[in-house]
Each structure stands twice: as C-alpha cells, then as structure tokens.
Structure 1
C-alpha cells in the first residue's frame, strides 16, 4: 500500500497537472476528436482514432488525480526536524566502498521522472528515518545487509538537490 504523504511541491505539481489536463489539454483534444468525427468514416480516420485514444488516457489520468489528491497529506518541514532525517529531507549517504548517494525522501507519487528522489516506502528511506549526521545505519537488501553513513541532511525547499555541484558557479 502506498503512503499518502507528499511534499508541498509534489502536491502543487499534481494539482497543476490535473488543471492542465482538464482545462487545457482535454478541451483541445475534444475539439480535434469532434472535427475528425465530422469527416465521416471513423474506422479509417487516423486523427479520430489517435485522439480518441489520447482522450481516454487523459480521462484516466484525471480520474486518478481526482481520487488521489484528496487522499494525500501535505507534509512541510518543521524546525524540530533539523539534524535528523524525516520525510522531505535531502540526504547524502556514503558506504565503505566510497559510494556516495544523494536524494530526497518523498511520497510515492513524486518519484517519477526524478532519479534523485526516493519513496518514503523504499527500504533505504525506512532505514534512514530519524538518523542523524555521521550516524551509521543498515539497509536490508536481497544481497544482504549494507552499511551506510549519513554525511549531510538538508531541508531545502524546492526540487533542486542542495548537494549537487553547480558547474556554472565555479
């Protein structure tokens, strides 16, 4: 079962996606479908077939968003969280091999299209909860237990990784 937590940025992004699909994209595609249907034979009308399929995809996504958005709980960072890993934290971790990973712990609805976000439901995120800087923690994987250390924790608001090196700043 998916966790119903989401960051404010994630919620705003899903709400904006809904509004874009419902108020902009759907009316645009509906016009095309209506025009293509007026041409007659729909069985061999590529415009009609393609856009009708696109309309179904839009409607499916809108239905999902309308059901999902009210279920979500927006979680904003709280000053008491500073120094510990909680939902919404940007975290940098390292293991004995020197592998360094940087990511933000977010809700499962936010991870798509981002390789620097992990779901709160992921084993790594669960193992990290309430850990502090320089604290060791163990993640259970199918290959066995893996040890990691917490290098940095940040609650920077927004979608940009605070640990990423900005080449234009050099």
Structure 2
C-alpha cells in the first residue's frame, strides 16, 4: 500500500474540513438520495437525464467524503513556533515585487486549505517553496508559470 500524504493544516482548516464532512454526510447525502428517488419516477432510467445527474452528484459527494476523511486521517496541525525570523509553514509573509511592485501578504498553509484569493498559498506552490527558509530583507527569485519574478521579503508575521 502506498504511503499516504501528510496534509498540513491549521486548527481552523481542520475544523472547516470536519464541518464540511458533517454537512456532506448528514445533509447533502440525503438531498441526493431524494433527487434520485424523484428522478426514478420520471420513467425509463436509460434516457433519464435527471437520474444521471443525480447519480453523478452522488458519486461526487461520496468521492469528496472519502477525500476529506483521508485528509483528516493524515492531518498534521501547523504549530506556531514563535519564530518570526524565518519564513515557514503557517507564517504570513509580506513581500514586494522588485523593482516597483506593490506589497503583497500571503500565509503559507498546507494544500488542503490553500486559497490564493484569500491570501493563503500552498506550501507546495512555487512561491512558497521559494520563500521558505528565507529571512526579512532577502531577495528571492520565484519561478512562476508566467516566468521568473524577484521579490524582497518585507515582514514575517
């Protein structure tokens, strides 16, 4: 059996996953079962798009339940070590794109809770990989899909 991946996350991220799992198991599953029952009444299942859609949704929900259960099983909570001298998992880092970009602030989190629009980037992302282990004042070259960019670390929070 292959070794399962560790999923790094904050306490908040774990709580959010547990809430999503509870919702899927208690509410969403029942909604899908009801849709399947109703769709069966529409007649011939081989030509019933409502039934097919409901079965597809059921497969999606069950897949997501399994995925979340696996993530929770292999969760490792990110602890704040209090060290604000070095960029690491769980830290927020403010940087400025060189030569004249605006300052940006991102928190480095595990892939399970990354959300770049909310300022949370995965520790597996090129940006996070380039910043990890660096200190305030360091200039870092980041390889992005759009090409290389240079950033200067302004603050570690």
TM-score, reference length from structure 1: 0.75
Name the structure 2 match of 1:86: 88
Alignment check: 8 A CA contact 2:87 2:156 kept: yes
For 1:52-131, what aligned pairs fall within 5 Å after superposition?
52-79=55-82, 81-99=83-101, 100-112=103-115, 114=117, 116-131=119-134
Q: Structure 1 2/111 Cα, relative in aligned 2: closer, same or farther at 3 Å?
A: farther
- Match of 2:98, SS state, is coil
Q: CA deviation at 1:62?
A: 0.9
5+ long unaligned stretches in structure 2:
none
Provide Cα deviations, 1:103-126, integer angstroms capped at 9, x if missing partner.
111111112473522111123212
Alignment check: 8 A CA contact 2:115 2:121 kept: no
Q: Structure 1 114/15 Cα, relative in aligned 2: closer, same or farther at 3 Å?
A: farther
TM-score, reference length from structure 2: 0.81
Q: CA deviation at 1:86?
A: 1.5
Alignment check: 8 A CA contact 1:2 1:108 kept: no
- Match of 2:44, SS state, is coil
Name the structure 2 match of 1:41: 44
5+ long unaligned stretches in structure 1:
155-170
- Match of 2:46, SS state, is coil
